[in-house]
A = this chain, B = another copy of it.
Amino acid sequence: MSSSIGENLRLSIFGQSHSPAIGMTMEGFPAGFSIDMDRLDRFLQRRAPGRNAWSTPRREADAPEFLSGLVGNTTCGAPLTAIIRNTNTRSADYELLKTVPRPGHADYAAEARFRGYQDAAGGGHFSGRLTAPLCVAGGICLQYLETRGIRIRAHIAEIGGIRDEGDPLESAAEKDFPVLSDERGEEMKALIAACRAEGDSVGGIVECAVTGLPAGLGEPMFGGMENRIAQIVFGIPAVKGVEFGDGFGAARARGSENNDGYAIREGRVVTETNHAGGILGGITNGMPLIFRAAFKPTPSIAKPQRSVNLKTGEETELSVPGRHDPCVVPRAVPCVEAAAALAVTDALIAPCPILPKQV
């Protein structure tokens, strides 16, 4: 189903940009887990707009209200539902989006798919705002995974060609601008500011590392960790590519370079390198799981663009007014962490029946 994902941990996301509320239902999450609501709020703030100079000045509260699945703050085993009210609903006239689709946005594809019935206001169900409930669900999973010794950290790996530097296993989560190298971060911020000034936007790459995973997580073929993570990460708007370990770089390597030799370190089997990004045959090998997601530039730009009037069939020009992020990548960092947390939790609670060895 379109807006649902997961096998054992089933996440369903609902809402449109301007509907009364957006929200999520998560089914299959472990019972008996106490959510740290303050911490969840801080995590959601990392995604929230209006926090700083490089994101849209619009500000929303984005405080989730939990409707079900809890006794106090502890999960009770019933489906967990949380909603976030939309305060800014139905105000604008978005009929224009059905008539003159914005380049790079889903407007035209949605019109073709839903034949005019789609909720066009603010992008409707396609809006980036729907990553807020994704982060509610994923933020809870992040807390849960930490109790199992699993940590997930993402950072901005690249914006407009400027690359971050540092060890991806380090955390940038506590920073306002989540990069490892603050020097590179300043360059990125300058680039974003320049794009904003030009009425333009810029894309980037988020890199994510998952540590503490046991070896043996995931399934062969279509149930691999790569398949699971890709399926959910491509659900974040603007993602156009996903790669694991050396990814597209591995396509240029020799086998003798790309294979990760095994070694024993402190009594544990490890690999000497990690070109595989911790995944072989879809299954974790106990090394850090590393992946990257490519984000295209924000399609909303002030610069004039070519479009067509679907009613008259005439070509026209369009510029997208309003206050948009010239770069979604900084705010996408917690979304990628949330997506990874959902995929990992789904795999972790999967049934994995193995009978004990007969002696």
Contact = CB atoms under 8 A, between A and B. Distances in A.
Contact of A240 (B107, B221, B243): B243
B7 A1 contact: yes
Contacts of A37: none
Given A2-B27, A117-B74, A32 B357 contact: yes
A106 B261 contact: no
Q: How big is the A interface, by class?
A: 35 or more
A308 interface: yes
A255 B223 contact: no
Contacts of A353: 28-31, 349
B68 A20 contact: yes
A50 interface: no
A156 to B, nearest CB: 11
- The number of times this chain is found in the oligomer is 4
Interface string A9-23: 010111110011111
Interface string A192-234: 0001000011111100000000111111111110110011101
Contacts of A25: 12, 14, 25
A190 interface: no
A253 interface: yes
Contacts of A241: 241-244, 247-248, 250-251
A354 B77 contact: yes
Contacts of A357: 32, 115-116
Interface stretch (A53-61, A123-131, A168-176, A177-185): A123-131
A197 to B, nearest CB: 12
A120 B294 CA distance: 36
Contacts of A106: 220, 280-283
A201 B343 CA distance: 32
Nearest to A205: B251
Given A77-B117, A241-B248, A350-B351, A67 B205 contact: no
A101 B262 contact: yes
Nearest to A286: B112
Nearest to A252: B161
Contacts of A253: 160, 202-203, 296-297
A79 B13 contact: yes
Identify the interface centre among A81, A248, A251: most chain B CB within 10 Å of its CB: A251
A279 to B, nearest CB: 8
A130 B282 CA distance: 14
Interface string A344-355: 000001111111
A246 interface: yes
A260 B222 contact: no
B262 A108 contact: yes
Interface string A263-296: 1100101011001110111111110000000111
A315 B262 CA distance: 8
A260 B134 CA distance: 28
A280 B68 contact: no
A244 to B, nearest CB: 5
B14 A79 contact: yes
10 contacts: A16-B69, A16-B76, A22-B68, A32-B356, A109-B218, A203-B255, A221-B235, A240-B277, A241-B247, A269-B310
